Structure 1
Amino acid sequence: MLRTRYLAALSFALLIMLVFFGLAFGRGSSLTAAPLPETFELSNGMNVLVIPDHRAPVVTHMVWYQVGAADEDAGKTGLAHFFEHLMFKGTQKIGPGQFSRIVARNGGKDNAFTHYDFTAYFQVIAKDRLPLVMEMEADRMTHLQLTDAEVLPERDVVLEELRMRIENKPSAELQSEMNSALYGEHPYGRDIIGYKDEIAALTTQDALDFYKRYYTPNNATLIVAGDVTAKELKPLAEKYYGSIERRAPTFIRKRPDIEWPDESKRVIRRDARVREATWMRYYPAPGYAGAGAKEGAALDVLAEILGGGTTSRLYRSLVVEQGISTGVQSWYEGSRLDGGKFGLYALPQVGGSLDKLEEGIEKELANFLAEGVSDEELDRAKTVIVASAVYARDNQRSMAYAYGEGLMTGMSVQEIHEWPDRIRDVTKEDVMAAARSVLQDTHPVTGELLPEGAK
């Protein structure tokens, strides 16, 4: 069962920010219409965030651990994602594989995901079953049982996942090479799932050491969204999580700084499985936390203006007017603690030239930097984002995810909550400053995916 998403979709960052917008935006609403989520801390250092949503007697219960693929020791890549799988292997109270079955029998659903900067586990369930999932999650935070009989077969599952998700997908292999070229020696330059030979060498003891070091309450954040208040949740949190003792110091990250490319790079991949060519480009960019509220919001608006849909600059020029592309998109991936990226993606017309496509993209970007953004483009971009957010706000799980991801990647509750107003405040000058900072003042990595034998 797939329990992780380690290859971001091209529009992933935009979709996540739409969730942020939706937390406070309604039709004609203001930021103050939505109360700030409540927070408190347990005596053992575990942080708690409560997001009330009383439209239905349902809750989303999430536990986020401040450890991800970028925190693995040298030679142990893939351990964070591998351990996510192992958290479902059982305790003395709950047998291997029974966790999800118990949730399902009680009308709920559960899953987990690994990121470069965090690992998280969640259940969506009726409010009256909240104590049940809290008890089970607290149990596996402390009493997980791992033996070779459980660990080694699951390692084979992860290796098969790597084959399916990366080795069998030429586009995924291209993205892996481009990330490596962009981020260099920084852990963001490798796939979350890890290197194949290092995954194959992971042991039960590796997993147990990882568990004891990182899966401690003072390295975790509990987020509950739904039909519950902080007053109701606090005694439950203290009962099930507050009694768990710290078993390791709070994790303090020590990662190398990202050294962005000092010259533009190109990655060309030819593959017999490819029928039509693909063009991509990654520009160095700060993450949301590093960019700050003003620049981060401007980068989101820039992505929408350039390649956010059929009314965007690049789509109108390359697809509608010139007819040299069948699709083009831009996006800003800011949900990373140490640094993000700004991406472009385009498909040529069938049988068309990537050189001509790239020339057209670069010409349009140069025109944009020279001419600037119009009032109409700015207003349209904001309108599209807000309109999409109206629908995104109805998803309780997405609300919890948005806050969790933001907190794990350097943002505060206040900053996440106020993000919609930051979008409203973006000016033409902000957009152009952001455009110059990523499109003009950096060295990008360009990727080409070609059929085998193509020149």
Structure 2
Amino acid sequence: MSRLPRLLPAYTHRLNSGLRVILHPVPIADSATVDVWVQTGGRNEPPQWLGISHFLEHMVFKGSERLAPGELDRAIEGRGGITNAATGQDYTHYYMTVAAADLPETLPYLAEAVLRAGIPPEEVERERQVVLEEIRRAADDLGYITYQLLMETAYGEEHPYGRPVLGTPASLMGLTPELLRAYHRGWYRPEYMTVVVTGGIDPEQTLALVEKEFGGPASGPAWTRPPIPPQPHPQGILRRESTHARLEQARLKLAWPTVSLDAWEQVCGLELLAAVLGDGRTSRLVHLLREQRGWVRAIGCSSLVLKEGGLFCISAHLEVEDLPRVEATLLHEIEKLQQDGIGQAELERARRMLTHELLFSAESPSQLASLYGYYETLVGVERLQEYLELLQAFTPAQIRELAQQYLSPEAYVVALLKPAASNAAAASELQLACR
């Protein structure tokens, strides 16, 4: 335990306004990354405002009363930096990477855009078309389609996680500049935000700069999250299928409801269980179904971590005719693990993989900033070190108990995206011709 690396940031602060600040100097770095995290995303949206968090993310780059549209990008990219943003179910974040020497000149632009977004009506109409095109492209993205099919099946339309973060064309058309401004005022507030700065920085000077640019009080009342229904748990096997004309192989997802981020110890144990089953060529499912039997083109396991309840998921790409035996084999392997458990060597391999994945994801200032912001926004940055320590503490018996508790062979969700009939027939004919 004592030999574990220390990943916690060197400096954490909470300003009088409620803003959380995390600073991690990297003396050898010539760059600096600023990552601004806001505790709002799809989870906080009423159904009639679906997609408002993502639309607002776009509008932040359209400037403020003091910042013309595109001026933020010009200020940062003109100095050789980069900037971007992302929206999820539980967060929205905005980040930039610049030369460390340019931080004092560029941070005011980012703060102005994020805190005082102007949301001019003419820009709303222009950007609405951009987001509509993004929704159209997503509807042709096979990975996105399969993921959304799983979320809709597992959570249902009543739960926000069952709805698309991008929104729909219909919901997007109902979002007005006034609604966007009200949503911005209610959520983009110091107590709901974290600013992370990493790289070639001086902590004292950087804290003073962040406090100057981000430390002011909020205007107007805060918003509270709408009530969220409990995560659904299937009583049997819940299946949902769809087809796509461009698909050549089926995409299968099996999922089991698990825990929210509040159950942190179980979250860490489920990560280990996923690594044992389907992370790497020597994991159980990859070795058996892809390397030995060749029944799947790809297969993997993951534990989806969300604020209001997660999913343990097995994903595979395979031929349609192999679906029954692959699903049966997956269930058989889960039951086998539940009965016989895992060996110490399997657990040690999973531990090493997850530990190294975390360490490798924290090698650059931009990766560090994203990691700190994500943890602080969802569960608290102190959990980062605790994650490493818990990975070392789990026993084979505890992993087996988690499999018994959560992976019921009689109650789970199946989301299946299959090739359209004509596509499947053409693929079969091609295979026969090749033989």
CA distance in 2, matches of 1:91, 1:420: 42
**Match of residue 4, structure 2, among 30, 47, 50:** 30
Which range moves more in the overlay, 40-49 or 116-125? 40-49
- Identify if the C-alpha distance between structure 1 residues 351 and 115 changes in structure 2 by more than 3 Å, giving closer, same or farther: closer
Partner of 1:301: 272
CA distance in 2, matches of 1:258, 1:432: 24
Q: How far does residue 413 in structure 1 lie from its aligned partner after superposition?
A: 2.3
CA distance in 2, matches of 1:79, 1:389: 32
Which range moves more in the overlay, 118-127 or 167-176? 167-176
CA distance in 2, matches of 1:195, 1:441: 34
**Match of residue 353, structure 1, among 322, 330, 338:** 322
CA distance in 1, matches of 2:353, 2:118: 48
Partner of 1:421: 389
* TM alignment of 1:393-412, pairs within 5 A: 393-409=362-378, 411-412=379-380
| Unmatched runs of 5 consecutive residues or more in structure 2 | 426-435
- The 3-state SS of whatever aligns with 1:280 is strand
- The 3-state SS of whatever aligns with 2:382 is helix
- The 3-state SS of whatever aligns with 1:440 is coil
CA distance in 1, matches of 2:290, 2:118: 55
Contact 1:51 1:225 in 2 (8 A): yes
Q: Confirm or deny that 1:319 pairs with 2:310.
A: no
| Unmatched runs of 5 consecutive residues or more in structure 1 | 1-24
Which range moves more in the overlay, 118-127 or 171-180? 171-180
TM-score normalized by the length of structure 2: 0.91
* TM alignment of 1:6-405, pairs within 5 A: 29-31=3-5, 33-34=6-7, 36-165=9-138, 167-184=139-156, 185-242=158-215, 244-256=216-228, 257-287=230-260, 289-292=261-264, 294-334=265-305, 336-348=306-318, 350=319, 352-405=321-374
CA distance in 1, matches of 2:359, 2:14: 31
Higher relative contact order (CA 8 A, sep 6+): 1
Contact 1:317 1:364 in 2 (8 A): no
CA distance in 2, matches of 1:424, 1:302: 13
Contact 1:57 1:127 in 2 (8 A): yes
The C-alpha deviation readout for 1:127-149, integer Å capped at 9, x for no partner, is 22212232112222443222221
Q: How far does residue 337 in structure 1 lie from its aligned partner after superposition?
A: 0.9
Q: For residue 291 of structure 2, what is the amino acid of its counterpart?
A: V
Contact 2:72 2:110 in 1 (8 A): no
Q: For residue 126 of structure 2, what is the amino acid of its counterpart?
A: P
- The 3-state SS of whatever aligns with 2:46 is coil
CA distance in 2, matches of 1:384, 1:141: 37
Contact 2:150 2:253 in 1 (8 A): no
Contact 1:60 1:123 in 2 (8 A): yes
Q: CA RMSD in A?
A: 2.2
Q: Tell me the matched-pair count.
A: 421
Q: How far does residue 36 in structure 1 lie from its aligned partner after superposition?
A: 4.4
Contact 1:300 1:332 in 2 (8 A): yes
Which range moves more in the overlay, 193-202 or 171-180? 171-180
Q: For residue 268 of structure 1, what is the amino acid of its counterpart?
A: E
Q: How far does residue 238 in structure 1 lie from its aligned partner after superposition?
A: 2.3
CA distance in 2, matches of 1:269, 1:74: 24
CA distance in 2, matches of 1:152, 1:373: 56
Partner of 1:3: none
- Identify if the C-alpha distance between structure 1 residues 380 and 285 changes in structure 2 by more than 3 Å, giving closer, same or farther: same
The C-alpha deviation readout for 1:238-263, integer Å capped at 9, x for no partner, is 22222x23113344324323233333
- Identify if the C-alpha distance between structure 1 residues 121 and 300 changes in structure 2 by more than 3 Å, giving closer, same or farther: same
Q: How far does residue 73 in structure 1 lie from its aligned partner after superposition?
A: 2.4
TM-score normalized by the length of structure 1: 0.87
CA distance in 2, matches of 1:254, 1:400: 29
Partner of 1:5: none
